[in-house]
Structure 1
Amino acid sequence: MSGADPAAPRPPLALRLGDVLDLRRDHPCGSRRWTVVRLGADIGLVCAGCGHRVLLERRVLERRLAAIVERGPEG
């Protein structure tokens, strides 16, 4: 046995308002960098390149996330 059950639920990604994220694919404006502006089942993001706002399901964001570049304020 390999140990971890692939069907077991994973804990949700610990995001904060103001986090700066890099996603795996470029936005059409050429930027990969996004800022978290809304938390919940859907995550609100603003593109750092052009200011475009999107809502992504948490599961979709977890798959597309490349790195958390900068953490927002705690609280």
Structure 2
Amino acid sequence: MVFNVGDIVQMKKAHPCGSSQWEILRTGIDFRIKCCGCGHMVMLPRVKFEKNVKKIIAQCKNENS
């Protein structure tokens, strides 16, 4: 799977606030993601992030002008 900044992904486990949707804020060796329910930000290593992603819900539209 290819992940881009701005994508909304669904994780396998829900956040304690009840939401399982996260927005990707940063990619690379580490991923910074933000909970779409409460706004909590988490930093995860790429391996753990890719293992826990269930599916991409919404993809950010890249504007390559």
Query: Fold match, TM over 0.5?
Result: yes
Deviation digits for residues 2-58 of structure 1, max 9, x if unmatched? xxxxxxxxxxx4111100000000100000000000111001100000000001111
Equivalent pairs counted in the alignment come to 63
Once superposed, what is the RMSD of the aligned Cα atoms? 1.0
Q: TM-score scaled to structure 1, two decimals?
A: 0.79
1:54 alignment partner, one of 35, 38, 42:
42
Find the counterpart in structure 1 of residue 30 from structure 2. Answer: 42
Find the counterpart in structure 2 of residue 10 from structure 1. Answer: none
* AA at the equivalent of 1:48: C
- Secondary structure, counterpart of 1:40 in structure 2: coil
**Distance in structure 1 (CA, Å) of the matches to 2:54 and 2:48:** 12
**Identity over aligned pairs, percent:** 33
- Secondary structure, counterpart of 1:63 in structure 2: helix
**Displacement after TM superposition at 1:73 (Å):** 2.1
Structure 1 residue runs of 5 or longer lacking an equivalent are 1-12
Q: TM-score scaled to structure 2, two decimals?
A: 0.91
More strand by share: 2
Structure with the greater alpha carbon radius of gyration:
1
Check whether the contact 1:16–1:73 (CA below 8 A) recurs between aligned residues.
Answer: no
- Secondary structure, counterpart of 1:21 in structure 2: strand
**Distance in structure 1 (CA, Å) of the matches to 2:61 and 2:23:** 12
